[in-house]
Structure 1
Amino acid sequence: MTERARTVVWLLVALFGLAAVGLGIVATVVDLDTSAQLATVAGSVGGFLGFALSGYALLRPPAAGSGRIAATAAGTRSVAAGGSIGRAVTGDRASLTAGPVTPEAGTSGSAQANGERGIAAGGEVGEAITGDDTRS
């Protein structure tokens, strides 16, 4: 949660706390019927605001870096991954003699590979073999 969102939440908590104290004072000083009517109106308004906020949260576009990974590959034999790639082989007749490559744990993000045999990763790439007749 960002600092701004945390501040808004605490302001709302304080506002609703003050509203509850105010309704208690009205019930004590004025009368219970007036307090009940005010509480009904305040509850209706709060319910409507909660409904509107829920709809906004469901329909708004996701923020950047929200966990959705976009990876697109365009072109013949292109490879794209939103996370890390251990080994990507796009060449013909490639001989792999070494064991699998494990990249270090890194960040994830968007990746876009364009063109023939393009390789892109949002994280780390351990090994990329794009040539023909290659040995690894």
Structure 2
Amino acid sequence: MTRRLRMLAWFGVVVGVLLAAGLIVLVVVADLDTAGQVAGIVGTIVGLAALGVSVYALRQPGSQGAAGPTVTSGGVRSVAVGGGVSGTVSTGDRHTSVQVPGRRRAAGPPPTAPPPGASGTVHASGERSVATGGEISGDVSTGDGER
């Protein structure tokens, strides 16, 4: 939660507590009829505000959502991974790891957003193909190596 959202949440809590305290004071000072009418009006306003906040939250672009990216593998012995690979992926017959030198990402926090132009779809379509939706920090082998 960002600092701004945390501040808005606390603001909502403080306003709610003040409204409840004000209604209690109104019941004690004024009559119950007036307090009931005021509570009805305040409840309507708060309900409409909550509806507006809900619509606003639903229209905000979030992360990938609950469903996540679409991940499919259509080729024979193909592998598609929605996130990153930090272990070993092999589509060969032998269980030995074949290491291929690759580019390592600089040390730091993992990326939080997909790269520009990413569609959220990961698809491995060819025979023994491997597709990932994230970084590869492990070993990926699509063959059997030398015999």
Cα deviations by residue, 1:4-36 (Å, 9 ceiling, x for unpaired): 222111101111211222223333334332222
**8 Å Cα contact 1:75/1:114 also seen in 2:** yes
- Equivalent in the alignment of 2:107: none
The number of equivalent residue pairs is: 123
Question: Where does structure 1 lack aligned partners over 5 or more consecutive residues?
Answer: 100-106
TM-score by length of 2: 0.55
**8 Å Cα contact 1:73/1:112 also seen in 2:** yes
Distance in 2 (alpha carbons) for counterparts of 1:135 and 1:40: 79
Question: Where does structure 2 lack aligned partners over 5 or more consecutive residues?
Answer: 98-109, 115-119
Distance in 2 (alpha carbons) for counterparts of 1:127 and 1:111: 22
- CA separation of 1:122/1:80 partners in 2, compared to 1, >3 Å: closer, same or farther? same
Matched, 1:129 2:141: yes
* Shift of residue 121, structure 1, vs aligned partner: 4.4
Q: Secondary structure of the equivalent of 1:80?
A: strand
- Equivalent in the alignment of 1:80: 80
Matched, 1:22 2:22: yes
AA matched with 1:134: G
**8 Å Cα contact 2:124/2:130 also seen in 1:** yes
Distance in 2 (alpha carbons) for counterparts of 1:112 and 1:55: 30
* Shift of residue 67, structure 1, vs aligned partner: 6.0
**8 Å Cα contact 1:119/1:128 also seen in 2:** no
Distance in 2 (alpha carbons) for counterparts of 1:40 and 1:71: 47
**8 Å Cα contact 1:86/1:126 also seen in 2:** yes
RMSD after superposition: 3.9
- Equivalent in the alignment of 2:103: none
- CA separation of 1:97/1:44 partners in 2, compared to 1, >3 Å: closer, same or farther? closer
TM-score by length of 1: 0.59
Cα deviations by residue, 1:21-75 (Å, 9 ceiling, x for unpaired): 2223333334332222111111122223334444554x43551265654255799
Q: Secondary structure of the equivalent of 2:90?
A: strand
